[in-house]
Amino acid sequence: MIWLVYLLIGIGTLFQILGTLALHRFPDVYTRMHGATKCTTFGSLFIYLGVIIYGIIMYVSGEAAYASLSLHTFVVMIFILVTNPTGAHALARAAHSSGVMPERAIVDRLRSDGR
């Protein structure tokens, strides 16, 4: 069962690395934010799931303190799932209202003149 923990943490680490590459490779602030937010959210999700499963395994084997670890990790996972996309959305709206335009946008629904 511990192999599942290693697998989840490995997948999460891979997503975090892909998020780092998105910050360096994508052309403008919006695509960078999109790539980094998606990857770090999913990367954190997989890592937290690995920690929760590890805590459950340890709790079942007799270590009562690990139940608290799983519960706290679950609460943090919920906060990350809510705040990470919300923060990226707020940053994108602020960038757009300050005049930073996407490089390859065909339709910009937020522009005031409707183009």
pLDDT at 115 over 90: no
Residues 66-79: what's their mean pLDDT? 92
What's the predicted TM-score (pTM) here?
Answer: 0.82
* Residue 70 near residue 51, CB atoms below 8 Å: yes
Give CA separation, 57 vs 61, 90, 113, in Å: 6, 38, 57
- Quick: pLDDT tens for 31-55: 888 888 999 999 999 999 999 999 9
Burial class (CB in 10 A: 0-12, 13-18, 19+), 107: exposed
Domain definitions of the chain by residue range: 2-97
